[in-house]
């Protein structure tokens, strides 16, 4: 029973790290806004912006046009031995946090 508990706790830690990033002793989560990220982590190494095209449909399901949505990617990496974190922003909030070991 104890082994199952240890395994479950380990899985919870792995799962929680997939949607959070540590900046010193502070954590950044999906849903945080840009101001909060800058306050906790400072300026990123790089910022990238691109537009995503979103089709618009009418009530019958036919495409009637399209609009664009601006997506931002902020990249953080404290050292070459640390994970590289990519924060994806949509409408000013973190939508996704990705961690890469060897970018």
Kindly give the pairing relationship between strand 26-29 and strand 93-100. unpaired
Confidence (pLDDT) at 80: 81
User: What is the predicted pLDDT for the residue at 12?
Assistant: 54
Distance CA 45, CA 103 (A): 13
pLDDT on residue 10:
53
Spans of the chain, pLDDT less than 50: 13-17
Using CB atoms within 10 A of its CB, is residue 22 exposed (0-12), middle (13-18) or buried (19+)?
Answer: middle
d(CA 100, CA 1): 34
- Whether pTM > 0.75 for this model: the answer is no
Q: Pairing mode, if any, of strands 26-29 and 63-76? A: unpaired
């Amino acid at each position: 029973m104890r082994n199952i508990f240890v395994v479950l706790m380990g899985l919870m830690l792995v799962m929680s790290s997939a949607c959070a990033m540590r900046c010193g002793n502070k954590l950044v989560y999906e849903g945080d806004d840009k101001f909060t990220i800058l306050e906790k982590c400072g300026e990123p190494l790089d910022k990238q912006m691109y537009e995503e095209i979103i089709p618009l449909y009418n009530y019958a399901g036919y495409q009637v046009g399209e609009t664009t949505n601006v997506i931002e990617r902020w990249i953080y990496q404290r050292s070459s031995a640390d994970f590289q974190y990519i924060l994806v922003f949509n409408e000013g909030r973190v939508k996704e946090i990705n961690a890469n070991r060897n970018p």
